[in-house]
Structure 1
Amino acid sequence: MKLVEPPSCRKSAAALVLIGRNSRGQWVVQEQAGLYGGLFVSRAEAIKYALFENGHHPETIVELSRTIELDTNGRFAPIGLLLGNGRRPVA
């Protein structure tokens, strides 16, 4: 039997999941409220994780063209500041 970590408890189709690269070139996934996130070596793995965590809602995933840093302190910047002009839907 394969054990799999369950998706985050709070599910909201309206919650955006941001994907982009950080200043070191790693792929970052960050849910807009900071409920979950992580660092990944490939875009494919970042998207796979984001889809798993958001209940397979690709329409809520936004890929940023500018750098994004993973916030581990729960002080994520307001969504408008992060999206700016670099907003581009993944799906």
Structure 2
Amino acid sequence: MKLVEPPSCSSPSTIVFIGRNHRGQWVAQEQNGLYGGLFVSRAQAVKYALFENGQHPETIVELPREIELDMGKSPSSNSVRRAA
């Protein structure tokens, strides 16, 4: 039997933000920048977030404002960067 790699998050209480960036792409990003990605649909962003956070839909927050994927920040910095 082949083992599947566990999700990247360290705890089930990890918040994952999803929303659209300025180009209309869907963004999913963990609040501390530990993982994230760009997606063509909301469904794919949610699917990714659920996989990464251990299947905890209650920890996914869909933002009504634009968000930008920022994979360059350190885990200790603030949450997802807000678009101006």
Q: Is TM-score (shorter-chain normalized) higher than 0.5?
A: yes
| CA distance in 2 between partners of 1:75 and 1:11 (Å) | 15
2:48 and 2:81 map into 1 onto residues whose CA distance is 24
1:18 paired residue number: 17
TM-score using structure 1 length: 0.75
After superposition, residues 30-49 of structure 1 pair within 5 angstroms as 30-49=29-48
| Structure 2 residue matching 1:51: 3-state secondary structure | helix
Q: Deviations over 1:32-83 (max 9, x none)?
A: 111100000000000000000000000100000000000020158633975x
Superposition misfits of 4+ residues, deviation over 6 angstroms: none
- Cα distance, 1:73–1:48 mapped onto 2, change above 3 Å: same
Structure 2 counterpart of 1:89: none
Percent of aligned pairs with the same amino acid: 68
Aligned residues: 81
Which of 1 and 2 has higher RCO (CA within 8 Å, sep 6+)? Answer: 2
Partners in 1 of 2:4 and 2:21 — Cα distance? 27
Q: Distance in 1 between matches of 2:40 and 2:79?
A: 24
Sort the Cα spacing of 1:40 and 1:81 in 2 relative to 1 into closer, same or farther, 3 A.
Answer: closer
How does the TM-score come out when normalised to structure 2?
0.81
Alpha-carbon RMSD across the aligned residues, in angstroms, is 2.6
